[in-house]
Amino acid sequence: MKIFHLSDLHIGKQLNGYSLRENQEAVLCQILNYASEEHPDAILICGDIYDKTVPSGEAYTIFSNFLISISQIKPRIPVLIIAGNHDSPERLSYAGPFLEKHSIHVSAFLPGSSEEYLKKVVLEDEYGPVNFYLLPFLKPGYIRPLFEDNQPAGYESAVKAVLEREQIDFKQRNILLSHQFYGSGGKDPETCESEQAVIMAGGLDRVDISVLPDFDYVALGHIHGSQKVGGRRIRYCGTPYKYSVSEEFHKKSVTVVKIGEKGEEPELEFLPLKGFQDVRRERGSLAELLERAEDKNRHDFVSITLTDEEEPYRVRERLEEVYSHILEIRVDNQRTRQKLLERAEEVPVLKPLEAFRQFYKAVKGKDMTVEEEEAMERIVQEAKEDEGI
């Protein structure tokens, strides 16, 4: 079975105020061309379809046209979609029954009662059935109705509880779609600026892949760089386009997954994707930057760092004459580095309780209660005693 793994389309996103519509439509058109040529058995879209929970009419139109074009490929290719943290479940699930008649399966909500389970889609190939389990973005509070007597304590236990509740037959071939922050042992996936804002401080939303037993493939969304988590069967496919300068060196692609018989490792292939404009950095003196501007790169989205020791005349105006989409202009020279050194303050070393107090407020948005302070004091004291402090 051949699968296209996509995620984090972020349709409607802007880059420092610049519209990305033409670039997003370009990569979606490339995906459609690949689908027509390769004709996968399924296309998986693992969350963050839109960039905002209330997408613009333009964003709806872009994604609607994409789905219509896929549905026109014959024979029909099933599309499986889950909601990400940027998506509104209510809006994403609109017209779900109608879409399902066109082999477009959307899972935006988690089970809400003891009678409900994850959406499951079964497809067949020459080796038999493949079960696709659709797990939309999850917070522990979303699943309280399912575990009234034994509430999961955090993200990891919540994901584990939901999957165990499904009682999946792992003698069959099973594929999971999920949109979460997963790590492997002590190693977290590589992140970039474009998704760090939604990753919780202290790694509270981290889920270890140990809760994903025996899936033949786990198609992940949430992280913008293509990478495996642990083994090759658990993977983030990354975004189809660069959404920050920190993604400058990412190689965007469609992840093609080939699933064979039960027990075989999945085969991976990467079909390149590229927008009209690149997202990149430029560094150098004003004269060097002006000289490097060419027709093939002057319309890219660029972050500029000037290294001139003396500020040149009319910097922004002169740069804007040759670079049409400047994201930012920074200055890095001996003078600015010296100013940073002069302003630098010694970072105080906080006592354990004070450090946790600040961390608690940053995460919860409120101060600890007296009871919580006392409990934390006991924990700190016990730790000191264990260490012989």
Q: pLDDT tens digit string along 194-228?
A: 777 677 666 789 999 999 989 999 999 999 999 99
Tens digits of per-residue pLDDT, 153-177?
899 999 999 999 999 999 999 999 9
Place of tokens 């939309």: 136
Specify the DSSP class assigned to residue 146. G
How distant, in Å, are the alpha carbons of 1, 95, 170, 260, 262 from that of 126?
8, 32, 19, 9, 12
Average pLDDT (127-144) is: 96
pLDDT at 269: 98
Q: In this model, does residue 386 exceed pLDDT 70?
A: no
Percentage of the chain exceeding pLDDT 90: 75
Encoding tokens for residue 24? 């997003």
Q: In this model, does residue 235 exceed pLDDT 80?
A: yes
CA–CA distance, 103 with 73 (Å, rounded to integer): 12
Place of tokens 């692609």: 253
Q: For residue 228, give the H/E element and its range.
A: strand 227-229
Q: Structure pTM? A: 0.85
pLDDT at 346: 53
pLDDT at 343: 65
pLDDT at 363: 76
Place of tokens 């989205």: 301
Average pLDDT (353-376) is: 80
97-111, 316-330, 345-359, range with the lowest pLDDT: 345-359
3-state SS, residue 230: coil
Percentage of the chain exceeding pLDDT 70: 94
pLDDT band at 388 (very low <50, low <70, confident <90, very high): very low
CA–CA distance, 120 with 165 (Å, rounded to integer): 13
pLDDT at 376: 82
Encoding tokens for residue 267? 């085969």
Tens digits of per-residue pLDDT, 31-50?
999 999 999 999 999 999 99
Instruction: Indicate the burial class of 187 (C-beta count within 10 angstroms; 0-12, 13-18, 19 or more).
Output: exposed
Cβ within 8 Å of residue 174, ≥6 positions away: 130, 131, 132, 133, 168, 214, 215, 216
pLDDT at 353: 77
Interstrand relation of 128-135 and 173-179 (parallel, antiparallel or unpaired): parallel
CA–CA distance, 153 with 215 (Å, rounded to integer): 24
Show the DSSP H helices in the chain as ranges: 21-38, 57-71, 89-92, 96-100, 155-165, 193-196, 286-292, 315-320, 334-343, 352-364, 370-387
Q: Which long-range contacts (CB under 8 A, 24 or more apart) does 94-97 make?
A: none
Average pLDDT (123-142) is: 96
